[in-house]
Structure 1
Amino acid sequence: MNKNIHIGNRQVLLNYSQSYPKNRETLLASPAFLKFVTYFIGQQKESSPEMYDYLRQQGKYSVAESAKKVVHFLRELAVFQLDEIESPYLENIELMLDIIEKAYHEWRSLQRFGYMTSDNAPDFGINTLVYKDSHLNDLILRTYRLFEEKLKGRPNLVYRQVQAGTNACFSVHHQEEPFAEGYEALAKIPVIDTVMLRTPMILHPKSSKRTGMFTETDVNPMTYLNMDPEEWFCFPMKVGSLLCYVYFNAKYTASALSLANLFEIATKEETTGKPDLVVIFGNEDGKNATEFYHDTDNNIWVGCISDHPRIEYFGYLKKMSLTLHNLAMMEKGWLPIHGAFVNITLKDGRKKGIMLMGDSGAGKSESIEALKAAGKDKIKDIEVVFDDMGTIHLENGVPYGQGTEIGAFVRLDDLDPGTAYRDMDRSIFMGPENKNARMVSPAAPYRVVVHNHPIDLFCYANNYTDKLGMNELSVEEAKETCKMGKRMALGTTQEVGISTTYFANPFGPMQKQELCEPIIDEVFTALKENGTYLGEIYTHLGFDKENRDGINDAAAQLLSFITEE
């Protein structure tokens, strides 16, 4: 990877520590700017032959030669007036204006990221990173406007303060020693310690659906690791109470930085020891596999996702991290729950913990959204503990729920109209033009996620029968319903139609059923003994997603349970 700038996979990665333009003169004279102009000219061969020929002066110059001449022209344009410049690029000013507009649009259509090192910088802080990134944003915007106004011969009348620099930036430091024997290759990879996101951030991944399964392997991925430390980074994060190091191929920087909206980033102090989980994302092994391995010698769960265009879908990175978490927690006797858990506080001060379980598309998040609408006059506050994956564990025989994520990764179609706009100023949008469009938005502080929360209601989200409302179940009925994991798949993964997944959770429990089975027995018995309502809630989403009558009826019964004396 070029130490100053890397352009590839519809992405730009800028190294502020190697090259940072302090002013317009250094920006236009930089190797990074020349590289982008070279890239832009090459792109026009197919998309705009007229521009391609004009920039190459009808084939007089190669792409590389033309890029140097265009850069020289733009440096003159930044200093002189049009009548003081002699250049063949002014023979058709209207076309040149179109070229400037298209180049600016091409730049902003790329996913753009900047980073710098915080090593050996005693005065380094978030303000250093934010200042540099914000200054670059302003510099690019002002430079574009200067070119535009000079070619137009007049100032603009409308100014839009768009994100002209990067979509996000981050700082990194280097670890001195490997955290365990056999992991020496990872010690060379820089570790992220600070992230700044420019939200709303809109990404356009090539893939919008997860396919295949996470399967166990008896070979440690470290033995077939294929990475250049110059092209990889580490994102250290907390998955619930566990420490996870995500090592990612730089071509997937967009997905990796999106983790900052979903998981708590670990501090420098927390990344000095051995992690519980390791994820290798984008390993160039040619296997097109999604595998996990338990390193029992070091007690580390290792997941490896092969480099492939399909893994641009954020779900691969999120779900592998959660799978490793669930496997590690089951070994501790904790039960992973694929579902949603919220604490409802009523205006009269009463509080209830509501946990809904079900596989993708069952209606967990939709039920919570419908409950918010149904109880707007009675509910004072809704505290999200988890929106996708959590756990139940016992302390002195009492079951408590905890979460894994500080954010939510949700389908836009699953939200009530207006919800996405309400939270858009802090959100990351992925493929909004696609059927399975998603957003990643912060949902809860980390201290809330890892706190012990009592459970008043535990229901399976049933989207495949025509019953209405809720139905209470015995312990055995509840266990059998949950273990069957039945749902009407809505196309959020590769499945369509009625499907069953062990315990509605293909992210750990399905792979280790023999480990999960006794924990289910223990936890469900404890839930009943502690007075938790066990049952089903009928969402009807498998029949008609557009018709909200079924889910509204379920929300009304949920509200009745919460408000009953």
Structure 2
Amino acid sequence: MVNYSEGSNSPIIINYKETYFKDIFELVSSKEMEEVLASYISIIKKRNGKIAKYILKNKTNYQAANDFIACLKKLLIFNVEEIVDEYLEDRNLFLKTFEDIYTFFRSRLKFGIIELNNSVLTSKRFMDIDNHFNNLVLSFYRTIGEKVQGHANQVYRQLNPGSNACVLLNHLEWQSGDTYRKLAAIPFINTIMLRSPLLIHPASNKREGTFDEMFENPIKEFNESPENWFCYPAKIGESLAFIYFHKDFITSGVSLANLFEMATEDEIRYKKPDLICLFGMTTVNEGCKFYYDQENDIYVGQVAYDKKAEYFGYIKKTCLTLHNVSMLSKGNLPIHGAMVSITLTDGSIKNIAFLGDSGAGKSETIEALRMISEDRIRDMDIVFDDMGSFYVENGEVYAKGTEIGAFVRLDDLESGAAYRDMDRSIFFNPETTNARVVIPVSTYKDIIKGVKVDMFLYANNYDEEIGVYYFKDAQEARPVFVEGKRKALGTTDEKGISTTYFANPFGPEQKQGETNPLIDNIFETLFATNTKVGQIYTQLGVSNTGEGIKSSARQLLEELYK
């Protein structure tokens, strides 16, 4: 059987307002069915195999599609023995072809959309509509298959062959003003139903380039058709972000539901966002850039339309860059890292923050702690998995998070960890190098409540040492954190040993003048309050066994009990 890749085609968007089938007869007679068959034939004919010759029979794509559909219609009405049709002369080949068409359709990523438009449509009703479509496709597939094979199936696999997700849209008024009036017609996502685990195969598997500041508002170049765009309203930390994306990047837009808390209608209506992201602009040439609209106090991001931008890291990091530069303007220090609040069995709570660039082992250390904890840790709550911010309050350093989810490499997780919660997971190219998964790990309430930092560790993935080393003072610690050294693991276009200012190319690197005094203040406060500051050796860049990070996690666990 042919292995059809979702990455080779744009997602299919099913607008239930325009495409709603009451029964399988309407489904098989639809223009959409013809398009699916013609698309399938255009791919299979290139292979020139047995199925291609069988279904084409020297016809054009659309002729073959319509003739095959005519055969399907007969099967819905008559018994197979009563039908005279060239496609049923070889029933085994018919079944093989029909199964291949079904596989092709299932392999395409499909997203249902429904617009509220001031209706009383409820979230339950919109899910019922989507479930109806999925059940219809499944019923059609089983009806045809069982008729031709001459008996009922003995094994039924309850798949979701119709849609991978369904999105409820709503048009809401917000404080767009004259500057952002172009965006007013683009609908907001109100509710998302995900059929997980969701497997996505983007064209690219890593992020390239940098996030550069620009000095002209990208909204001036935004001349897109509103019907091709959607907006995911996100709460990134305490920032309200309107993330606009082109429909061809709906896989990234919908996947945001596992990463950022969705804002409610009340949080959107008549409000002004702190951040605006324009993802997939066809009117610009290249790059991921950000701009500060001083007049409206809004940070605006721009990402050009490019197949490489299908990689989820692009939309995630663009939004986090906007949030980080916004935090800097408020006097908070963005931290590219991970933080966990650990409740030990004696009831004490330790809040540990890790800093490091992509692939350094931040999230992986937390996962290692979880795996080796046995009966020594009562609970672990994620404060942030990739990006947070430090601030000083009452003479002590506190932290808040930004994301409710984690976007992590499958290769760096303990075997089976990604599949433990696979029913909620979204996988990206799971069979390749740098395979990723995005999964909810915390609640919005927990990530923004603010927790005191009890330990701050640099994730060192390039040295061969094991365990944890503590710095004596800020003068020893600051250079290590600021240098941001790590060994690249192929998660970006970097190779070998690299350095990034404060391990954070998403705001601090571009705004070093604003960041330096904040770093000084944080480190002075940490050491003044006798907070442990050091580095943990993850060995991710020097060994692929995973034993190094486990050993260091064990030493860290011992340290927590001292």
Q: Which of the numbers 106, 113, 116 marks the counterpart of 1:115?
A: 113
Q: Secondary structure at the match of 1:66?
A: helix
Q: Secondary structure at the match of 2:286?
A: coil
Task: Give runs of aligned pairs for residues 429-448 of structure 1, distance below 5 A.
Answer: 429-448=427-446
Q: What corresponds to 1:168 in structure 2?
A: 165
Q: What corresponds to 1:503 in structure 2?
A: 502
Once residues 346 and 338 of structure 1 are traced to their aligned partners in structure 2, the CA distance between those partners, rounded to angstroms, is: 25
Q: How many residue pairs were aligned?
A: 554
Task: Give runs of aligned pairs for residues 262-301 of structure 1, distance below 5 A.
Answer: 262-272=259-269, 273-301=271-299
Q: What corresponds to 1:22 in structure 2?
A: 22
Deviates more, 1:305-314 or 1:170-179: 170-179
Q: Secondary structure at the match of 1:13?
A: strand
Task: Give runs of aligned pairs for residues 83-162 of structure 1, distance below 5 A.
Answer: 83-122=81-120, 124-162=121-159
8 Å CA contact 1:456–1:531 kept in 2: the answer is no
Q: What corresponds to 1:494 in structure 2?
A: 493
Displacement of 1:482: 0.7
Displacement of 1:84: 2.4
Please list the CA deviations of residues 169-207 of structure 1 after superposition, one character each: whole Å capped at 9, or x if unmatched.
111011346623211111111111000111111111111
Please list the CA deviations of residues 308-366 of structure 1 after superposition, one character each: whole Å capped at 9, or x if unmatched.
11111100000000000000000000000011100110112111101111111111122
Displacement of 1:556: 2.0
8 Å CA contact 1:9–1:251 kept in 2: the answer is no
Once residues 125 and 516 of structure 2 are traced to their aligned partners in structure 1, the CA distance between those partners, rounded to angstroms, is: 51
Q: Secondary structure at the match of 1:305?
A: strand
Q: What corresponds to 1:32 in structure 2?
A: 32
Q: What corresponds to 1:471 in structure 2?
A: 469
8 Å CA contact 1:293–1:303 kept in 2: the answer is yes
8 Å CA contact 2:15–2:114 kept in 1: the answer is yes
Please list the CA deviations of residues 441-476 of structure 1 after superposition, one character each: whole Å capped at 9, or x if unmatched.
110010001111111100111122233321221112
Q: What corresponds to 2:396 in structure 1?
A: 398
Q: What corresponds to 2:358 in structure 1?
A: 360
Once residues 126 and 545 of structure 2 are traced to their aligned partners in structure 1, the CA distance between those partners, rounded to angstroms, is: 45
Once residues 266 and 501 of structure 1 are traced to their aligned partners in structure 2, the CA distance between those partners, rounded to angstroms, is: 33
Q: Secondary structure at the match of 1:47?
A: coil
Please list the CA deviations of residues 283-318 of structure 1 after superposition, one character each: whole Å capped at 9, or x if unmatched.
113512111111111111111111111111100000
Q: 1:547 to 1:97 in 2, by over 3 A?
A: closer
Q: Secondary structure at the match of 1:521?
A: helix
Displacement of 1:545: 2.2
Corresponding letter in the other structure for 2:27: L
Displacement of 1:126: 1.3
Once residues 43 and 232 of structure 1 are traced to their aligned partners in structure 2, the CA distance between those partners, rounded to angstroms, is: 28
Once residues 341 and 8 of structure 1 are traced to their aligned partners in structure 2, the CA distance between those partners, rounded to angstroms, is: 37
Please list the CA deviations of residues 374-410 of structure 1 after superposition, one character each: whole Å capped at 9, or x if unmatched.
3222101110111111011122322211110000000
Corresponding letter in the other structure for 2:297: N
Corresponding letter in the other structure for 1:418: G
Once residues 467 and 365 of structure 1 are traced to their aligned partners in structure 2, the CA distance between those partners, rounded to angstroms, is: 19
8 Å CA contact 1:116–1:170 kept in 2: the answer is yes
| Unpaired stretches in structure 1, ≥5 consecutive residues | 1-6
8 Å CA contact 2:174–2:272 kept in 1: the answer is no
Corresponding letter in the other structure for 1:31: K
Q: What corresponds to 1:3 in structure 2?
A: none
Deviates more, 1:528-537 or 1:186-195: 528-537
Deviates more, 1:312-321 or 1:527-536: 527-536
Q: What corresponds to 1:11 in structure 2?
A: 11
Cα RMSD, aligned residues only: 1.6
Q: 1:276 to 1:286 in 2, by over 3 A?
A: closer
Once residues 490 and 42 of structure 2 are traced to their aligned partners in structure 1, the CA distance between those partners, rounded to angstroms, is: 38
8 Å CA contact 1:113–1:166 kept in 2: the answer is yes
Once residues 30 and 265 of structure 2 are traced to their aligned partners in structure 1, the CA distance between those partners, rounded to angstroms, is: 33
Deviates more, 1:175-184 or 1:287-296: 175-184
Q: 1:540 to 1:177 in 2, by over 3 A?
A: closer
Displacement of 1:547: 4.9
Corresponding letter in the other structure for 2:148: L
8 Å CA contact 1:301–1:328 kept in 2: the answer is yes
8 Å CA contact 2:215–2:291 kept in 1: the answer is yes
Q: 1:383 to 1:442 in 2, by over 3 A?
A: same
TM-score by length of 1: 0.95
Q: Secondary structure at the match of 1:496?
A: coil
Once residues 313 and 496 of structure 2 are traced to their aligned partners in structure 1, the CA distance between those partners, rounded to angstroms, is: 21
Corresponding position: 1:217 with 2:214: yes
8 Å CA contact 2:34–2:62 kept in 1: the answer is no
Corresponding position: 1:230 with 2:227: yes
Q: What corresponds to 1:193 in structure 2?
A: 190
8 Å CA contact 1:178–1:187 kept in 2: the answer is no
8 Å CA contact 1:358–1:460 kept in 2: the answer is yes
Displacement of 1:529: 2.2
Displacement of 1:8: 8.7
Once residues 191 and 177 of structure 1 are traced to their aligned partners in structure 2, the CA distance between those partners, rounded to angstroms, is: 11
Q: Which of the numbers 222, 237, 241 marks the counterpart of 2:238?
A: 241
Displacement of 1:48: 4.2
Q: Secondary structure at the match of 2:46?
A: helix
8 Å CA contact 1:180–1:298 kept in 2: the answer is no
Corresponding letter in the other structure for 2:536: I
8 Å CA contact 1:178–1:186 kept in 2: the answer is no
Corresponding position: 1:70 with 2:68: yes
Q: What corresponds to 1:261 in structure 2?
A: 258
Q: 1:10 to 1:91 in 2, by over 3 A?
A: farther
Once residues 434 and 417 of structure 1 are traced to their aligned partners in structure 2, the CA distance between those partners, rounded to angstroms, is: 16
Once residues 244 and 465 of structure 1 are traced to their aligned partners in structure 2, the CA distance between those partners, rounded to angstroms, is: 38
Please list the CA deviations of residues 485-539 of structure 1 after superposition, one character each: whole Å capped at 9, or x if unmatched.
1111122111111111000000000010001111111112122223311111122
Once residues 284 and 320 of structure 2 are traced to their aligned partners in structure 1, the CA distance between those partners, rounded to angstroms, is: 24
| Unpaired stretches in structure 2, ≥5 consecutive residues | 1-6
8 Å CA contact 1:82–1:150 kept in 2: the answer is yes
Corresponding position: 1:374 with 2:372: yes
Q: Secondary structure at the match of 1:46?
A: coil
8 Å CA contact 1:374–1:559 kept in 2: the answer is no
Q: Secondary structure at the match of 1:270?
A: helix
Q: What corresponds to 2:386 in structure 1?
A: 388
Q: 1:400 to 1:103 in 2, by over 3 A?
A: same
8 Å CA contact 1:8–1:251 kept in 2: the answer is no
Corresponding letter in the other structure for 2:36: F
Q: What corresponds to 1:4 in structure 2?
A: none
Once residues 476 and 126 of structure 1 are traced to their aligned partners in structure 2, the CA distance between those partners, rounded to angstroms, is: 55
8 Å CA contact 1:167–1:198 kept in 2: the answer is yes
Q: Secondary structure at the match of 2:544?
A: coil
Displacement of 1:16: 0.7
Task: Give runs of aligned pairs for residues 338-353 of structure 1, distance below 5 A.
Answer: 338-353=336-351
8 Å CA contact 2:174–2:268 kept in 1: the answer is no
Q: What corresponds to 2:77 in structure 1?
A: 79
8 Å CA contact 1:323–1:507 kept in 2: the answer is yes
Q: Secondary structure at the match of 1:338?
A: strand
TM-score by length of 2: 0.95
Once residues 67 and 271 of structure 1 are traced to their aligned partners in structure 2, the CA distance between those partners, rounded to angstroms, is: 46
Displacement of 1:140: 0.7
Q: What corresponds to 2:4 in structure 1?
A: none
